[in-house]
Structure 1
Amino acid sequence: MQYTSTRGGVVGVDFEGVLFAGFAADGGLFMPEHIPKLNNVTLTTWRSLSYKDLVKEVCALFIPPEAIPRSDLNGLIDKALGRFRHKDVVPVSRLKSDLSVLEMWHGATHAFKDLAMSCVGQFLDYFLKKNNRHVNILVGTSGDTGSAAIESVRGIPNIDITVLLPHGRCTEIQERQMTTVIEDNVHVYAVDGTSDELDEPIKKLFGDTEFVKRHNLMSTNSVNWARVMVQIAHFFYGYFQCAPSQDNELLPPVEIVVPTGGAGNITAGCIAQKMGLPIQLVAVVNSNDIIHRTVQKGDFSLGNTERTLASAMDIQEPYNMERILWLAADSDSLKIKELMNEFNEKKGLNLPPELHIQLLQMMKSCSVTDDDILQTIRRCWEENRCLLCPHSAVAAFYHYRQFDLNQNLPRCCLAPASAAKFQDVTLRAGLIPEVPPEIEALMKKETRCTYLKKQDNWERVLREKLEAIDQKRKGNI
């Protein structure tokens, strides 16, 4: 298994190479040169596997044994997923109105990012110890990615991580999960801007190939292929948990509803589709609706980023759409390069009709308002005494709408975060938050971060910080 850039300028890269990469040197994103196709016999065999075992099977398809031997791979995944609070790792709640919710938030930071990030942290540590290397991880976050990235590598000697968060645009709990970490290898910046704006200096640094090489710079955003790879597993698990039981090898379709921001998660779903899993995908967004407009009208153009109750989805430039378009274009890298060049130049494009048709065959979409989110949180509580976070409510809204119209095929709604991280939204819905002790303890800890003003040169600050980290490390050595 080797990897290629979506824009075709970088090919033949091995798993270790893409694990330690951010964007490819040509500005594209790494994808497998071919997607494994699974037959019904394999899918039927996988039906009875636990979530943890499905992660192992999926990862083994994309990580050759010469990169990580299977026994080592199994051990890394066992260690990564061993800290989750629920024995099933990602349990399914079966609620009234036929609502099935895949709870993906039982990890350290109460968000689904823990699932992939914990595995990526183990993969990184494995290669770094093996090769006696050090890396600098640079991450931009709209909410949950930063804390999960920090949690996965905090205290690891061969890794320093620098995180940019949009100050005041995450919840207080999300910020505190990042700013209360005291390990010396963790460096946090709170910037006066949106998550899209803080991505700009990060892209510029990754575009400087000499700087990237000199500082061993990498990303664990969903730019990183390994993040997307691990997330493929929960589409298989959600499918097997929600598909009607069959006595034969027939595999009925299941609709999987994906709250969508940067589109890394639904990219994993598109790959699961390509692998032969009979799922129908629904991308559900908030009022930052670029993905909805792209799916519905072929209009892939930027708008203004609006603040919503589903703050982690307040994104107008979902970079993983490039991967989805690459899949829809049947891996036509030249076409994707042409389209992304136009997008970067004009900040928008209209998809060619044939590509738009292919995208429509891959997924449906829906846009949800803040009022819809609050009504859905209240309905789920009234029916089930179950609190949803605003991002989970985005998916549940779509289900309730279909259910009320009697369009109720088998369906699995992904719940990316715990309601405990969004207490203010729970209060706005007129309900009382449930606060776990570990979340409550965050509010008593001291915070540590550096604030960057709008007028500061964020790119220069990051360059100087990474230089200083490496100088200090060399001094320690």
Structure 2
Amino acid sequence: MKYTSTRGGVTGVDFEAVLFAGFAPDGGLFMPEEIPKLEKETLHSWHSFSYVQLVKEVCSLFIPPSSIPRMELEGLINKAFIRFRHKDIVPVVKLKSGLNVMEMWHGATRAFKDLAMSCVGELLDYFLKKNNKHVNILVATSGDTGSSAIESVKGKANINIFVLLPYGRCTKVQELQMTTVMEDNVHVFAVDGTSDELDHPIKMLFADKNFVEKHNLMSTNSVNWARILVQIAHFFYAYFQCVPSAETQNSRVVEVIVPTGGAGNITAGCIAQAMGLPIRLVAAVNKNDIIHRTVQHGDFSLGDTKATLASAMDIQEPYNMERIFWLLADTEKNNIKGMMEEFQLNRRVKIPEKLHTRIASTMTSCSVTDDNILHTMKRCWEENLYLLCPHSAVAVYYHYLQVNSNESSHRCCLAPASAAKFPNVILEADLTPDIPEDVQVLMEKETRFRHLTKTDDWENVLRETVELIDNKCSNCTIP
């Protein structure tokens, strides 16, 4: 298995190189040169697998034994999931009105990002120790990515991590999960900007190839292919939990509703679909609706980022859509480079008709208001005594729409975060938060971060900090 850039400038790259890369050198994103196709018999044989087993099977298709021998890969994946709170890792809860909710938040930070990030942390550690190297990780977060990234690498001697969070735009719990970490290799910046604005200084540093090479820069945002890879398993597990074993032979379709911000998770769903998994995808977004407009009208154009109750999805520039465009472009993959360059120049591009048709046949979409979120949270509680986080409610809203219209289908809603991370939204829905002990403890911890205002030069501050920290570490002995 080799990898290529979505913009065609780099091909034949191995997994290790892709793991440690951010954007490809030509500005694109890495994708497998070929997507493995699974036979119905394989799908049927996977039906009884645990979630962890499915992660192993999926990863082994994209990580050749020449990169990581199969037994060692399985050991890394086993280690990645030791800290999860639920034995099934991602249990699917079956509620009233035909509602299936896949709880993806039983990891260290109570968010779905822990699933892929825990694996990425182990993969990085494997190669760094093998090669006696160190890296500097740059992460911009809208809420959950930063804390998951920190948890996956904190305390590791061969990794420094630099996280930019949008100050005042995350929930207090999300913010404290990042700012209360005291390990020496963790460096947090609270920035007066939106998550989209925070991406800019990181992109500028990655565009400086000399700086990237000198300081071994990499990203664990969903720009990193390994994040997407692990997430492919979510969709296989959701499918098998919703379809009886006998029906896998008949290719019974399951609709998977994906709360969508940066589009990394739904990209994984598109790949699972391309592998032969019979799913229909729904991109459920909040008022930041660029993906909804793209799916419905082929209108891939930026707007102003709006603050919503589903704050981790407050993203107007979902860079993983480039991966979806490439995946679905078929014989027109050479057009992706020009299309994305037009988008970067003009902040908008009209999706070609053929590509738009393929996107619309792969997924549908909906855009959900804050009022919709609150009403959905209330209904779910009244019917089930079950608390949804606002992001999960974005997905469940779509399900309730289909139930109200008497639409009958196997359907699974992905729940990306625990309601415990959003007590203020729970209160706004006139419900009572249930705050677990590990979240309560955060309120009493000391914090450590650097505040960057609008007048600060974010790129320069980040550049100088990386240089300072990396120079200190240059003479360290890596165990």
Structure-2-length-normalised TM-score: 0.99
Runs of 4+ off more than 3 Å: none
Question: What amino acid sits opposite 2:11 in the alignment?
Answer: V
CA contact (8 A) 1:6 1:331 kept: no
Cα deviations by residue, 1:413-440 (Å, 9 ceiling, x for unpaired):
0000000000000000001100000000
CA contact (8 A) 1:328 1:359 kept: yes
Q: Which moved more, 1:170-179 or 1:206-215?
A: 206-215
Q: Which residue of 1 aligns with 2:221?
A: 221
CA contact (8 A) 1:244 1:410 kept: no
Distance in 2, Cα, partners of 1:21 & 1:4: 12
The alignment partner of 2:250 has SS state of coil
- TM alignment of 1:45-84, pairs within 5 A: 45-84=45-84
CA contact (8 A) 2:142 2:311 kept: yes
Q: CA deviation at 1:207?
A: 1.1
Cα deviations by residue, 1:384-432 (Å, 9 ceiling, x for unpaired):
1000000000000000010111102000000000000000000000011
**CA 1:412–1:331: 2 relative to 1, 3 Å:** farther
CA contact (8 A) 2:47 2:245 kept: no
Residues matched between the structures, number: 477
Cα deviations by residue, 1:437-475 (Å, 9 ceiling, x for unpaired):
000000000110000011111111111011001111125
CA contact (8 A) 1:244 1:252 kept: no
Q: Which residue of 1 aligns with 2:104?
A: 104
The alignment partner of 1:249 has SS state of helix
- TM alignment of 1:87-102, pairs within 5 A: 87-102=87-102
Cα deviations by residue, 1:82-119 (Å, 9 ceiling, x for unpaired):
11000000001100011000000000000000000000
The alignment partner of 2:111 has SS state of coil
- Does residue 125 (structure 1) correspond to residue 147 (structure 2)? The answer is no
Distance in 2, Cα, partners of 1:8 & 1:144: 31
Q: CA deviation at 1:244?
A: 4.0
The alignment partner of 1:257 has SS state of strand
Q: Which residue of 1 aligns with 2:41?
A: 41
Q: Which residue of 1 aligns with 2:184?
A: 184
Distance in 2, Cα, partners of 1:153 & 1:295: 36
- TM alignment of 1:363-402, pairs within 5 A: 363-402=363-402
Distance in 1, Cα, partners of 2:213 & 2:41: 44
Aligned-pair Cα RMSD in Å: 0.9
Q: Which moved more, 1:261-270 or 1:402-411?
A: 402-411
Cα deviations by residue, 1:304-349 (Å, 9 ceiling, x for unpaired):
0000000000000000000011111027442100100100000001
Q: Which residue of 2 aligns with 1:406?
A: 406
Distance in 1, Cα, partners of 2:84 & 2:261: 24
- TM alignment of 1:163-174, pairs within 5 A: 163-174=163-174
The alignment partner of 1:366 has SS state of strand
CA contact (8 A) 2:102 2:413 kept: yes
- Does residue 236 (structure 1) correspond to residue 236 (structure 2)? The answer is yes
**CA 1:433–1:6: 2 relative to 1, 3 Å:** same
Question: What amino acid sits opposite 1:390 in the alignment?
Answer: P
Question: What amino acid sits opposite 2:286 in the alignment?
Answer: N
Q: Which residue of 2 aligns with 1:361?
A: 361
Q: Which residue of 2 aligns with 1:313?
A: 313
- TM alignment of 1:4-15, pairs within 5 A: 4-15=4-15
CA contact (8 A) 2:43 2:248 kept: no
Question: What amino acid sits opposite 2:73 in the alignment?
Answer: L
Listed as ranges, the gaps of 5+ residues in structure 2 are none
Identity of aligned residues (%): 69
**CA 1:414–1:331: 2 relative to 1, 3 Å:** farther
Distance in 2, Cα, partners of 1:464 & 1:262: 28
CA contact (8 A) 1:288 1:316 kept: yes
Q: CA deviation at 1:358?
A: 0.9
Q: CA deviation at 1:284?
A: 0.3
Q: CA deviation at 1:158?
A: 0.3
**CA 1:247–1:465: 2 relative to 1, 3 Å:** closer
Structure-1-length-normalised TM-score: 0.99
